Structure 1
Amino acid sequence: MKIWTSEHVFNHSWETVAQAAWRKYPNPINPAVWGTDVVDRHVDPRDGALITHRIISSQWGLPSWAASILGNPSACYASEVSRVNASTRNFQLDTQNLTFGSHIAVDEKLIYLPHPDDPMNKTLLRQEAVVTVSGVPLTSYMESVLTNTISSNAGKGRAAMEWVIEKVNQGLRSMDDLSHAARKSLEFDAV
C-alpha cells in the first residue's frame, strides 16, 4: 500500500472553486476523463448537504507491460460520491476505481475548504490517495507507478480547475455585458 497526499491553495473563493469542481470534466488539460454520469443525487435531511453519486469514465493509458498483466479496456470507470455543504463551506469527493478492482484499489479523497488565513478569497484543497495492488507480480513497483501517475494527474487537475474558473469568469463577464446591453437597449427604447 502506498499513500500520497497533497495540499494546494486556489486564489479564489470557496464558492468559485466548488462551482468549478462540478464543471471540471471534460476539459482539454486532462482529456483522459471523458464522461461523468449522475447515478443518484439527494439532499441529506440532517444537515442540508447535497450528496451526489457519479460514475466517471476515463482512459488510464496503461503501459504495455501493465496492460499485458491486467488487460487494457477501452474505458475505465470510477465511483465518485461527493458531499457539498454550502452552510459549512465544505466540499468532499471520495472516489474509488471500479475497473481492475480485483487487483488495484485506488481510494482518493479531495476536500475543498475555505483557507484558514483568508477564507473569503482563497480555498484550500487537501488530497489523499491510497493505492493498493494485490494478486499480480511487481506489486510495490506498480503501486509506485500508480502513485506517481496520481501525483502528475493532480497537477493537471489543478490546472483544469483554473481553466474552468477562467471559463466561468468569462461567462459571467459575457452575462454582465449582455445585461448591460439589455439595460442600454431599454433606456434607448424609453427615450
Structure 2
Amino acid sequence: MKSFQKSYEFDYPWEKVTTANWMKYPNKISTHVIAVDVLRRELKEHGNVLLSERLITIRQNTPRWMSILVGNTNLAYVREVSTVDRRDRSLIMRSCNMTFPHILKCYETVCYVPHPKNPSNVTLFKQDAKFMSGVPTKTFSERVENWGVKRFSDNAMKGKVGFDSILAMFNDIWKNGNE
C-alpha cells in the first residue's frame, strides 16, 4: 500500500470555500475531469447536514504497460460521498475509484475545516489517499501503486491550481457584493 497526503490553506472563509467547491469542475486546469454528476443529495439532522453522492468521470492517458491490464480505455469513474456539517463547519469528501478496482484501488478523504488559528478568514484543506494494488506479483503491484501515486499527485496539483482559479473568480463576484 502507498499513500499520498497534502494540506493547504485557502485565504477564504470556510463558507466561501465550501460553496465554491461545488463549482470546482470542470475548469481550464483540471482537464482530466470531464463530468461530475450528482446521484443523490439530501438534508439530514434538521437541515444542518447535507449528504451528497456524485459520480466523477475522468479522462486520462494510460501508460502502454498499464494498457496490458486495463485495455485501451482512457475513461475512469470515481464515486464520491460528501458530508457538509454546518454546525461543526466541516466538509468531508470520501471517494474511491470504480474503474478497475481489482488492479488498483484508491481511497481518498478530503476535509475542509476553518483554520484553527484564523477560523474566520482561512480554510484548512487536508487530503489523504491510499493506493492498493490487486496485482498478484509484488514487483508489478508496486509499479502499479507507484504509478497511481504519481498520477494522483500530478492531478492533485492541477486540482489545487484549478480550484485557486475558481476561488479567484468567485472572489471577484464576492467583492462586487453579488454573494
| Same-fold call, TM cutoff 0.5 | yes
Residue 26 (structure 1) aligned with residue 16 (structure 2)? no
Tell me which amino acid in the other structure corresponds to 1:30: S
How far apart in 2 are the matches of 1:60 and 1:132?
A: 20
8 Å Cα contact 1:69-1:136 kept in structure 2: no
8 Å Cα contact 2:61-2:74 kept in structure 1: no
Residue number among 170, 173, 179 corresponding to 1:168 in the alignment: 170
8 Å Cα contact 2:80-2:95 kept in structure 1: yes
1:109 is matched with: 109
Q: Could you tell me how far 1:168 is from its partner in structure 2? A: 1.3
Q: Could you tell me how far 1:7 is from its partner in structure 2? A: 1.2
Q: What's the CA shift string for 1:16-60, capped at 9, x where partnerless?
A: 111121110000111000101111111123772100000001113
Question: Identity of counterpart residues, as a percentage?
Answer: 29
Q: Secondary structure at the match of 1:12?
A: coil
Q: What's the CA shift string for 1:87-114, capped at 9, x where partnerless?
A: 2110011010001122210000100010
Tell me which amino acid in the other structure corresponds to 1:77: Y
Q: TM-score, normalised by structure 1?
A: 0.86
8 Å Cα contact 2:62-2:74 kept in structure 1: no
Q: Aligned pair in 2 of structure 1 residues 139, 124: CA closer, same or farther (>3 Å)?
A: same
Report which of the two structures shows the higher radius of gyration computed on alpha carbons.
Answer: 1
Q: Which runs of 5+ in 1 are unaligned?
A: 177-191
How many equivalent pairs are there?
176
User: Going by fraction, where is strand more abundant, 1 or 2?
Assistant: 2
8 Å Cα contact 1:17-1:161 kept in structure 2: no
2:45 is matched with: 45
Q: What's the CA shift string for 1:113-161, capped at 9, x where partnerless?
A: 1011111111111100000111265110110111122122211111111
Following superposition of structure 1 onto structure 2, how do residues 26-105 of structure 1 map, counting pairs within 5 Å?
A: 26-45=26-45, 48-105=48-105
Question: Aligned-pair RMSD on alpha carbons?
Answer: 1.7
User: Going by fraction, where is helix more abundant, 1 or 2?
Assistant: 1
8 Å Cα contact 1:103-1:136 kept in structure 2: no
Q: TM-score, normalised by structure 2?
A: 0.91
2:128 is matched with: 128
Q: Could you tell me how far 1:73 is from its partner in structure 2? A: 1.9
